[in-house]
């Protein structure tokens, strides 16, 4: 016999709310652990209670590593977005948000009175839309590949600098030991 659906609304009774929080938090942590073991992935979970108490879970001792990877990802993502905006601006293209593009497409569809169009006109409109999407995807791919290449070059340079520093430190230690 299955359980019924739980209505998602705030639990009014304070004790029941705390009990439910504790059980669901433990279930969430268990699922995070299962995900990490079954799929061999790194997982980090933070939960702040109503009283601002922190509960956390991470795979092994890797919380700082996961947080660093997250920060690196966010910085790289921001860098990609910035470069895409700059590149599109340099190419003379307007950078628009998804909402703006949606409004433009909706306006164009209304102007063309799509409901009264025949199949050939709709097919032509679909091909035009697909063509524009292909162009956007191509530009996006090129820009992302450029960013990845730049990041790889930067990583290579940082590794070389690290090796030089390690060598310098080793030399200094040798000098100090003598």
Q: Which residues contact 91 (CB under 8 A, 6 or more apart)?
A: 139
What is the per-residue pLDDT across 95-153, written as a single tens digit (0 to 9) for each?
555 556 666 666 666 665 656 667 777 777 677 777 777 777 777 888 888 888 888 89
The pLDDT assigned to 13 comes to: 92
Tokens standing for residue 33: 């652990």
- Phi and psi at residue 44, to the nearest 5°: -135, 130
- Phi and psi at residue 33, to the nearest 5°: -65, -45
Least confident of 52-66, 86-100, 135-149: 86-100
Q: Does the model's pTM come out above 0.85?
A: no
| Residue 73 φ/ψ region, left for φ over 0, alpha for ψ in the -120 to 50 degree band, beta for the rest | alpha
> Where in the chain are all domains bearing CATH 3.40.1810.10?
14-60
Q: What is the CATH number of domain 14-60?
A: 3.40.1810.10
| Residue 56 φ/ψ region, left for φ over 0, alpha for ψ in the -120 to 50 degree band, beta for the rest | beta
């Amino acid at each position: 016999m299955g359980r019924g659906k739980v209505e998602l609304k705030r639990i009014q009774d304070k004790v029941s709310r705390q009990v439910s929080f504790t059980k669901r938090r433990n279930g969430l942590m268990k699922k995070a652990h299962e995900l990490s073991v079954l799929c061999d992935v790194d997982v980090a979970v933070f939960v702040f209670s109503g009283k601002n108490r922190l509960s956390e879970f991470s795979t092994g001792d890797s919380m700082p590593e996961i947080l660093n990877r997250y920060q690196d990802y966010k910085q790289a993502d921001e860098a990609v977005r910035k470069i895409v905006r700059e590149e599109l601006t340099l190419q003379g293209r307007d950078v628009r948000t998804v909402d703006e593009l949606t409004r433009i497409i909706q306006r164009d569809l209304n102007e063309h009175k799509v409901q009264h169009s025949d199949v050939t006109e709709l097919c032509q409109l679909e091909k035009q839309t697909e063509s524009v999407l292909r162009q956007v995807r191509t530009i996006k791919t090129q820009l992302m590949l450029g960013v990845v290449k730049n990041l790889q070059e930067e990583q290579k340079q940082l590794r070389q600098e690290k090796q030089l520093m390690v060598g310098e430190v080793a030399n200094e230690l040798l000098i100090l030991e003598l």
